[in-house]
Amino acid sequence: MTQSTSQSLFYKEVNPLILAGALLVVSCLSMLIAYGRYEGEELKNIWLVSGSFVLCYVILNSILSYNAENINSYWTRGIIGFVGLILLSSVVATKLSGVSIEDAGTYKWLYVVFTICFIIFLVIVRLMRTIIDLAQKQDKRLRNEQ
């Protein structure tokens, strides 16, 4: 069974704020499950759960930004969603684990790395889209289809 391109999620424009909100809800639920499972020093692992959903957002938002009609508007909403997801999931992780991001050790660096990766992924997608658009225009010119 093949899925047509009109039904695929990758061909639809998904609002990054909705994506961030959905991942925040799932992240909070996962952190609550981890809170019930861990105790003592293991509570720092809640930061890992929080960071993993930030990484999911980075990857999904970068992929879904390719088909955005207005990429600048999408980027603005995507960055707002990213910052909101980091801030809110950090607050929840701090409250549940009892450990601030400064005391979480290496988990603090996950957020730094994910932020850098987010910027790099967005630039890569933008470059890919620009190169493909230029190639398609050149192809039309060569075929005299202007």
**pLDDT tens, 69-119?**
888 899 999 999 999 999 999 999 999 988 888 888 888 898 999 999 999
| Domain ranges, residue 43 | 13-142
Among 44-58, 75-89, 92-106, 132-146, the least confident range? 132-146
The CA angle 60-62-115, to the nearest 5 degrees, is 95
- 57 is a domain residue: yes
Of 119 and 1, the structure prediction assigns the larger pLDDT to 119
Instruction: Please give the mean pLDDT across all residues of the chain.
Output: 88
Give the chain's end-to-end CA distance (angstroms, integer).
Answer: 37
pLDDT grade, residue 140 (50/70/90)?
A: confident
- 122 is a domain residue: yes
- 8 is a domain residue: no
The H or E element spanning position 53 is helix 45-64
- 61 is a domain residue: yes
- 109 is a domain residue: yes
Domain count, the chain: 1
- 3 is a domain residue: no
Q: What is the pLDDT of residue 71?
A: 86
What is the length of the chain?
Answer: 146
Q: Which span out of 49-58, 103-112, 137-146 was modeled with the highest average pLDDT?
A: 49-58
Number of Cβ within a 10 Å radius of residue 115: 15
- Taking alpha carbons only, the member of 107, 64, 62, 65 closest to residue 86 is 107
Percent of the chain topping pLDDT 90: 53
Does residue 57 surpass a pLDDT of 90? yes
Residue 112 in tokens: 């730094």
pLDDT grade, residue 9 (50/70/90)?
A: low
- 6 is a domain residue: no
- 132 is a domain residue: yes
Average pLDDT over residues 22-38: 91
Does residue 48 surpass a pLDDT of 50? yes
